[in-house]
Amino acid sequence: MRPGQRWFSETEAELGLGLVLEADVRVARLLFPATGEERAYARREAPLWRAVFAVGDQVRDLDGRESTVIGVDEQDALLTYLTLDAAGCEQALMESRLDPHLHLNRPQRKLLAGRLDADIWFGLRLRTWRHLGNWAASDVRGLVGARISPIPHQLYIAAEVAGRDAPRVLLADEVGLGKTIEAGLILHRMLLEGRVRRVLILVPEPLLHQWLVELLRRFNLGFALFDRERLAALADTADSNPFETEQRVLCSLDLLTDAPSAAAAALAADWDLLILDEAHHLHWAPEESGLDYDLVQALAARAVAVLLLTATPEQFGRAGHFGRLRLLDPQRFGDYAAFLAEEADYAPVAEIAAALLDDPAASLTAAQRARLDALLGDDGVDQPDLMPDAQPDQARDQAGDEIVSRLLDRHGTGRVLFRNIRAAIAGFPERHVHASALTAPTDETTAADAADPRRPWLVETLRRLHPARVLLIAARADTVLALRRWLQERAGIPAAVFHEGMEIVERDRAAAYFADAEDGARILLCSEIGSEGRNFQFVHHLVLYDLPLEPDLLEQRIGRLDRIGQTQTIELHVPYVQGTASEVLYRWYAEGLDAFAASCPAAPVVHERLVDRLRAALERPADIDALVLEAADLRRVLNAELAAGRDRLLELNSHRPDRSAALKAAVQAQDADPALADYLTRFWDAFGVEHEPASGAALVVRPGRHMLQERFPGLPPDGLTATFERAHALAHEDQAFLTWEHPMVRSATELLTGSDLGSAALVLTRHPAFKAGELLLQMLYVAECPAPAELQAGRFLPRLGLHLLLDEHGRDRSDGLAIDDIAGRCLTGNTRLAAALLQARTAAIEAMLAAGEARARREEQAIGRAARARMQTLLGAELQRLQALARVNPAVREDEIHHLAARRARLDDALGRVHLRLDAVRLVAFG
């Protein structure tokens, strides 16, 4: 290899024709001028192949001059082609001057040279391209491979968010509805699509391990966990940025805020996607912001996509909530006062949106229509027609949908915020509260151990509930520790503890000990922040040992049990001491907010307005009667207002049941499709992998003794147990859940698309419609388009662009013949017969190849046109949205609009150069 030579990438054909810039014994550096990308390769295993054009090949120089190669000269390992153009002009063309968009048809060469693959590989190659095309067009790509039940609101959010160009959203479903799963699904789709590569996930330290495990177990996604030790070790050994040594990093936000050098390193590394869990902790107020906020703001400003997660977006007030929205879309959320004023006007928007969604067939009243026009502003001019007789029902539904989307986008928190509530989602258990009024100790008993009457009450309660497991949450770690000691020493009850003072490993161990149904602890004592985000839905008894002042904290506590997977009624046990602050709090939640039996949407606002009076009542418990009455009135009014206004808008925006039903059906249809099992079985058989049924719906897959290559990608040396069935996979988390999206399956498909295995085959067959000696040539063309990766041009292209079955007259016979049914005797092993046949029929084969090429050149223009049209529709709508938003919101940056417009123009240009590359050929000879 030497500078000036031209090479192709084996694995990334879309990069076009590369130019060697530098090469020493170990490393080669190539520029791919078609995409502008530069790559360095280790020489020994560079997935590259030398571009050598042969006499007869069509080439093009950098000025776009087309010609045919008539001779090749080599000097100092560099090639010069002698070429002849259409005007009959001969010219010498140095390889360095070849157009970087050129392609070389290798299957054609392979076939004519008799380097044949077994026919089965050609068939698998065809299936692979077909699958990749279906996958790219599927609405549920990236959502099928996760080990999860297909839950509608999660699928809706994942498809909606991941479908956006650069998603930046706040996932704020109520506690335990699956925000982690939603974020995982979005991440999974974007990774599989190649739209993001570098991902940073920031979570509170206690949740690091749970995230690591969920990502791996549910999504097959490995992340590098950065903690203090790892960071220190990396900083010592490498002079490079430790955050650049990994593509996917999971780390705690505290780690970054505690160590300025770590924060600087994280900021210096570029991230495509930033995910932040428990985002309510960020500190922001109009007049000041916390270090944590500033850091996330800086990271979010540079990342293309951002997902913030919180179940309690208003835990620290409306301003904090606004601050988080501002991280996502600083233009839309520029002014806090305006944001508050705008909220007051949500009710009419919600009313119209609901009217359009709930009953699209009904027409709007004249007043509603006038209001709609006013709400949409300039954008109303080109709004889809909603007039009753103008369109058929379906078109009107779509028009209604479109208008609702525009309304939600421009008014309310629109596209940025998703919040589903339990009440709107079926299948959640009830919550029962059991309050115990205890008596304050009298002087005689104070000296005894039972100074706190909750302690004996707890012992009694635990005995009563035996053998059920019980989770206890108290505000502070020292309460938890003292209680454990007391339970052990005085009542002989062993308890596990879980609090922020423990190491992560210890906490995970405690959680696992508690989760163990057989030999585990019966009671787990948790402190408040120690248990945030944790999954304890296998328990249904929760002791609220004390009550928090913040209503969102109460919701977070109950959410440990009240989450997806909870199968029983949740029993809440609340002890309080009569006549004390604990009774005040109990009555505040029970009577004032009614927050035990269900979550109360108005709670944060009631709290904000009455918190001073509540504090006073904690000092003077006698004041509570009047306060709870007032709180209850306020709660009713606010809940009704929210249900009609802001919350209704949120609900409409957060889940469209008709769309999620279609997504769920699509997931289920894929689950039921036997195509994958059939594909893999053939693949394994052809490769030499052993597989056999195991118990239930499982199978065992092992490397065979004589395999095509030393290793089957993704298969561990000692094999694995796997299943194709979702329900089985959910019940057996140790087994691999095989879908088209599983890493082992994707590696198998990449084994074909990244090599030329199966790209040339020859079969001998009989058919009544063909005479002995006749030939057919089956040709697979793949659509490609050299463009920089960030443009994602592949999203708009089919994979298998053209599939031909040509006869010797150049006619396509695939219409009349069932193309998949042409089976025959594979001649790969019979090299003499194959060589003789190829030699005798070279001219006919070349003519068919030429006819295929001519057809491909015609088709690629149509494919390019269709791809451009698709792209224009998608990006055009996005551009229109931004322009419309800019009209109602002057803060929308001009450069954002320009950026999108420029991207559209570059894509349009790139898609104008779509190329159909011959990927595989199969000669069918009739005997």
Q: Select the span of 144-152, 234-242, 317-325, 760-768 touching ligand ATP (CB under 6 A).
A: 144-152
- Residue 298 contacts by C-beta under 8 Å, 6 or more apart in sequence? 267
Nearer to ligand ATP, 451 or 731 (CB): 731
DSSP state of 592: I
Binding to ligand ATP (CB under 6 A) within 742-761 occurs at none
Burial of 730 by CB count in 10 Å (0-12 exposed, 13-18 middle, 19+ buried)?
Answer: middle
Closer residue to ligand ATP (CB): 9 or 310: 310
Our CB check for ligand ATP shows the closer of 250 and 627 to be 250
Q: Which stretch binds ligand ATP (CB under 6 A): 179-187, 640-648, 759-767, 900-908?
A: 179-187
**Closer of 534 and 635 to ligand ATP (Cβ):** 534
**Binding test (CB under 6 A) with ligand ATP, winner from 61, 95, 160, 173:** 173
In DSSP terms, 38 is beta-bridged to 31
Q: Which of 69, 438, 468, 564 binds ligand ATP (CB under 6 A)?
A: 564
Told to check if 559 binds ligand ATP by CB under 6 A, we report yes
Rounded to whole angstroms, what are the CA distances from 268 to 28, 241, 262, 265? 27, 8, 10, 5
Q: Which stretch binds ligand ATP (CB under 6 A): 86-94, 156-164, 172-180, 589-597?
A: 172-180
Binds ligand ATP by CB under 6 A, chosen from 180, 420, 654, 749: 180
Least Å distance between CB 730 and ligand ATP? Answer: 7
Instruction: Find the shortest distance in angstroms from Cβ 536 to ligand ATP.
Output: 9
DSSP β-bridge partners for residue 252? 203
Q: Which of 192, 211, 191 is nearest to 201 (CA)?
A: 211
Of 178-186, 222-230, 329-337, 608-616, the window that binds ligand ATP (rule: CB under 6 A) is 178-186
Please tell me the distance from the alpha carbon of residue 172 to that of residue 588, in angstroms, as a whole number: 25
According to the binding rule CB under 6 A, does residue 204 interact with ligand ATP?
no
Distances in whole angstroms, Cα of residue 328 to Cα of each of 168, 299, 756, 878? 5, 11, 44, 17
173 is in an annotated binding site: yes
| Distance set, CA 246 to CA 199, 218, 226, 242, 579 (Å) | 9, 21, 10, 8, 58
Check binding of 151 to ligand ATP (CB under 6 A). yes
Q: Is residue 153 within 8 Å of 797, Cβ to Cβ?
A: no
**523-542: which residues touch ligand ATP (CB under 6 A)?**
533, 535
The answer on whether 178 is annotated among ligand-binding residues is yes
Q: How far is the CB of 475 from ligand ATP (least distance, A)?
A: 18
Query: Does 565 participate in binding ligand ATP (rule CB under 6 A)?
Result: yes
Among 251, 295, 311, 408, binds ligand ATP (CB under 6 A): 311
The residues, any chain, with a CB within 8 Å of residue 42's CB and separated by 6 or more, are 26, 27
Our finding on whether 495 is near ligand ATP (CB under 6 A) is no
Q: Which residues of 307-319 are buried (b: 16+ CB within 10 A; e: fewer)?
A: bbbbbbbbbbebe
**By CB under 6 A, is residue 668 in contact with ligand ATP?**
no
* Least Cβ distance, residue 155 to ligand ATP (angstroms): 9
> Is 254 annotated among the ligand-binding residues?
no
Indicate the residue among 215 and 593 with the shorter CB distance to ligand ATP.
215
Q: Decide if residue 185 touches ligand ATP (CB under 6 A).
A: no
The distance of closest approach from Cβ of residue 538 to ligand ATP in the complex, given in angstroms and rounded to an integer, is 9
Residue span 812-851 as binding mask against ligand ATP, x where in contact by CB under 6 A, dash where not: ----------------------------------------
For 907, residues 6+ apart whose C-beta sits below 8 A from its C-beta are 787, 791, 793, 796, 868, 871, 875
Q: Output 199 or 779, the one with its CB closest to ligand ATP.
A: 199
53 vs 219 by CB, closer to ligand ATP:
219
176 annotated ligand binder: yes
DSSP H helices, 620-654, are 624-644, 646-654
What's the one-letter identity of residue 607? H
Of residues 18, 145, 176, 801, which one binds ligand ATP by CB under 6 A?
176
Decide: is 142 part of the binding site for ligand ATP (CB under 6 A).
Answer: no
Q: How far is CA 92 from CA 55, 67, 81, 650, in A?
A: 13, 11, 6, 67
| 380 assigned binding-site residue | no
Asked if residues 181 and 565 have their Cβ atoms less than 8 Å apart, the reply is no
C-alpha span between 80 and 83 (Å, rounded): 9
Does 563 sit near ligand ATP (CB under 6 A)? yes
Name the residue nearer to ligand ATP (CB basis): 372 or 736.
736
Closest CB to ligand ATP among residues 266, 311 = 311
Q: Which is nearer to ligand ATP, 146 or 699 (CB)?
A: 146
**How many angstroms separate the Cα of 342 from the Cα of each of 351, 410, 411, 740, 897?**
15, 11, 8, 46, 24
Nearer to ligand ATP, 128 or 566 (CB): 566
* Alpha-carbon span 405 to 24, nearest angstrom: 56
Which of 132, 140, 158, 181 touches ligand ATP (CB under 6 A)? 181
Region of residue 33 (phi > 0: left; psi between -120 and 50: alpha; otherwise: beta): alpha
Instruction: Identify the CA nearest to 262 among candidates 251, 274, 273, 246.
Output: 251
893-906: string of b/e by CB count within 10 Å (b at 16+)? eeeeeeebeebbee
- Sheet arrangement for strand 720-723: 690-693, 698-702, 720-723, 736-737
Residue 117 annotated as lining a ligand binding site: no
Rounded least distance, CB 176 to ligand ATP, Å: 5
Does 148 engage in binding with ligand ATP (CB under 6 A)? Answer: yes
Q: Is 733 in the site for ligand ATP (CB under 6 A)?
A: no
The span from the CA of 479 to the CA of 473, in Å, is 10
154 binds ligand ATP (CB under 6 A): yes
Reduced to 3 states, what is the DSSP secondary structure of residue 245? Answer: coil
Are 104 and 28 spatial neighbours (Cβ–Cβ below 8 Å)? no
Binding mask 324-353 toward ligand ATP (x if CB under 6 A, else -) reads: ------------------------------
Min separation Cβ 651 and ligand ATP, Å? 16
Closer of 176 and 758 to ligand ATP (Cβ): 176
Stretch touching ligand ATP by CB under 6 A, among 101-109, 313-321, 563-571, 820-828: 563-571
Half-sphere exposure of 688 (CA within 13 A, CB side): 10
Q: 77 vs 20, 52, 92, 106, 770, CA distance in Å? A: 12, 11, 16, 21, 48
Using DSSP's 3-state secondary structure scheme, residue 60 falls into strand
SS (H, E, C) 694-730: CCCCEEEEECCCCCCCCCCCCCCCCCEEEECCHHHHH
Annotated binding site: 173-180
Residues annotated within a binding site for ATP: 173-180
Residues that bind ligand ATP (CB under 6 A): 148-149, 151, 154, 173, 175-181, 311, 533, 535, 559, 563-565
